[in-house]
Amino acid sequence: MRMADVGGTGRAVAVALGAVLVAGGCTVQTTGPDGEGHAPVRIEVTTGAPPKSTPSGDRRPSGTPSGDRPPSGTPSGGREPSGAPAAGAKAARVLWKRGDSGRDVRELQARLRQVEWLVDGPTGTYDDLTERAVSGFQGKRGLPRTGRTDTVTWQRLLGMSHEPGKWDLYLMGGQPAAAPDPRCTTGRVLCVSKSSRTLRWMIDGRTVSTMSVRFGSRYTPTREGVFQVYWKSRHHVSTLYDSAMPYAMFFSGGQAVHYSSDFAARGYAGASHGCVNVRDEAAIADLYAQVRNGDKVVVYR
Report the mean per-residue pLDDT for the chain. Answer: 77
Q: Which residues of the chain have pLDDT under 50?
A: 1-84
DSSP 50: P
Return the half-sphere exposure (C-beta side, CA atoms, 13 A cut-off) of residue 215: 19
Superfamily of domain 182-300: L,D-transpeptidase catalytic domain-like (2.40.440.10)
pLDDT tens sequence across 188-212: 999 999 998 999 999 999 999 999 9
pTM exceeds 0.75 for this model: no
pLDDT tens sequence across 141-157: 999 999 999 999 999 99
- Residues 284, 170: contact at Cβ < 8 Å? no
Buried b vs exposed e over 146-181: b needs ≥16 C-beta within 10 Å? bbbbbebbbebbeebbeebeeebbbbbbbbebbebb
- Residues 153, 140: contact at Cβ < 8 Å? no
Q: Domain map of the chain by residue range? A: 7-43, 93-169, 182-300
Q: What CATH number labels 93-169?
A: 1.10.101.10
